[in-house]
Amino acid sequence: MAPGLTPGLGDLGLGGHEITTGKLGLYTLFGGIPPEETLPISFDVGCNGNGRNDPFYLGVDGDRDQSENFYELVNETVQAVHELWPNCVFQFEDFSQETAFELLRRNIDIESPIFNDDLSGTGIVAAAAVASGLRAASLMSGREVTASEQRVCQLGAGVGGLGVSEMVAGLMEDEGTSAEEARSKFFLMDKEGVVTKCRKDLTIEQVEWAQPTCETTEITSFGGLCKEVKPTILLGLSTVGGAFDSDEVLGPCCENEQMPIVLALSNPNVKAEISAIDCHDRTTALGNTALYASGSPMAPPPGHVVPTQCNNSFAFPGIGLACKTAGIQKITQKMFRAAAKALANMMTEDQLRSGMLLPEIAHAREAAVKVATGVAIEGMNSGLARAEGLPETEAELEQLMRDSMWNPADQF
């Protein structure tokens, strides 16, 4: 039987089920996965938010169960689906930070492709935007601007934030930088302060990104951190609206020779760290106009192209298409990096010069083909593509992906 695609959702009661069906619709719309080969699953184990007070709330009337019972429920579901459809792709969605990482750890040995979209999908599109930004900066400056020379200040260290850190650091590692050195170039801050080894409240995953010294622990604001680091890249995943909209934050970035790269990825727009217009106007006034991308659609500065949107829809449909067509046995970090590079490589020099870092959403179906091809090539190189008779050339493999996509017009 062909693979199904299974997102899960966290703390919304039964209301979350609508999001699983919406995600699967994007697999069909952009990734060409037949709708009958998708399966939405949501877990209603209570709700910790205010949703239970709504008269239209549907779901368990109690706090969310975070005990071992919850993990057993999810694991039993994954195993049952895997027994029915061994090639199924599992996409986890909207689980809390501690839950998301724990679920991945517990299912790491299952012989099916599993990934968390908040962690990896967000990371793929953000890394693609950064890769495009580096190409754009190279074109503008007349010299090669590398990932390894970047300094990154990041506001937000949750699931999405750490996923973005991992993928952007991967760009450095692909240039030959060690994982340890790459992580040393990242300065993360959350609501408790700068992420350093001196903090005792960090998760296992956050510890890997903690700065080794306590010096930055005394810094109390993100602007103060930027003043200390003079970052070339700002990453926003904090949901703190306007957090980047000050000279204190952007000034140190604009002091660098390189054009700043600013990703304000928090949703919706009111929670974005800075708008496209404000970022353009403020960095232009500071003498070094930034390259910009956001998590939600933004109004453009007058006379400029529509700002880049880092939409996960550029990533997960292509991953599903690759797994279905090439028979990917397990999804690896190298496959995620291949997806990011394939997405970034879609951009032409003229688009980069105009400030575009990713394709427009109208080209999401073509993006899925490119992402699927990149993932499949990495799968073949690593021996994790089980489908027989796969083409050996990239052009032929890309055509196979395109031909494999479901199209409603073909049904009549």
pLDDT: which is higher, 345 or 160: 345
Structure confidence at residue 369 as a pLDDT band (50, 70, 90): very high
Pick the residue with more confidence: 205 or 52? 205
pLDDT score recorded for residue 217: 65
Minimal CA–CA distance to 126: which of 166, 172, 78? 166
Q: The tokens of 178 are what?
A: 């060690």
**Three-class secondary structure of residue 152 per DSSP:** strand
For the stretch 117-126, pLDDT in tens is 988 999 999 9
Domain covering 5-112 in this structure, CATH number? 3.40.50.10380
Mean of pLDDT over the chain: 91
CB atoms within 10 A of CB 148: 14
pLDDT digits (tens, 9 = 90+) for 134-184: 999 999 999 999 999 999 999 999 888 999 999 999 999 999 999 999 999
Q: Give the pLDDT band (50/70/90) at residue 10.
A: very low
- Mean pLDDT along residues 46-60: 81
Q: How many CB atoms lie within 10 A of CB 327?
A: 18
What length is written for the chain? 412
Intrachain domains 5-112 and 120-309 with the same fold: yes
Whether 28 shows a pLDDT value over 70: the answer reads yes
> Phi first, then psi: what are they for 302, rounded to 5°?
-55, 130
User: Binding site residues for a divalent metal cation, as ranges?
Assistant: 93-94, 118
Which among 246, 256, 320 has a CA at the least distance from the CA of 38?
A: 320
Detail the residues annotated as belonging to a binding site: 93-94, 118, 267, 311
Residue 187 has phi, psi (to 5 degrees) of: -120, 105
Mean pLDDT of 264-271: 93
CB distance 189 to 223 below 8 Å:
no
State the angle between helix axes of 394-404 and 316-326 in degrees (0 to 180), rounded to the nearest 10.
Answer: 100
Q: Is the pLDDT of residue 225 over 60?
A: yes
260 close to 254: Cβ distance less than 8 angstroms: yes
Tell me what the mean pLDDT of segment 231-257 comes to. Answer: 97
- Classify 230 in phi/psi space as left (phi over 0), alpha (psi -120 to 50) or beta: left
Of 247 and 48, more confident: 247
Instruction: Could you list the residues known to form a binding site for (S)-malate, using ranges.
Output: 267, 311
Between residues 160 and 6, which one has the greater pLDDT? 160
Contact 172, 150 (CB under 8 A): yes
SS3 340: helix
- With 0-12 / 13-18 / 19 or more C-beta atoms within 10 angstroms meaning exposed / middle / buried, residue 340 is buried
CATH architecture of structural domain 120-309: 3-Layer(aba) Sandwich (3.40)
C-alpha span between 247 and 224 (Å, rounded):
11
Q: Taking the mean position of all CA atoms in its chain, how far away is CA 145?
A: 23
Please report, for residues 34, 244, 247, 254, 289, the alpha-carbon distance to residue 274 in angstroms, rounded to integers and kept in the order given: 38, 5, 12, 15, 14
Domain boundaries, given as residue ranges, for the chain: 5-112, 120-309, 313-332+357-411
What average pLDDT does this structure show over 173-200? 95
The structure's pTM equals 0.93
Cα 371 from Cα 369, distance rounded (Å): 6
Confidence at 8, pLDDT banded by 50, 70, 90: very low
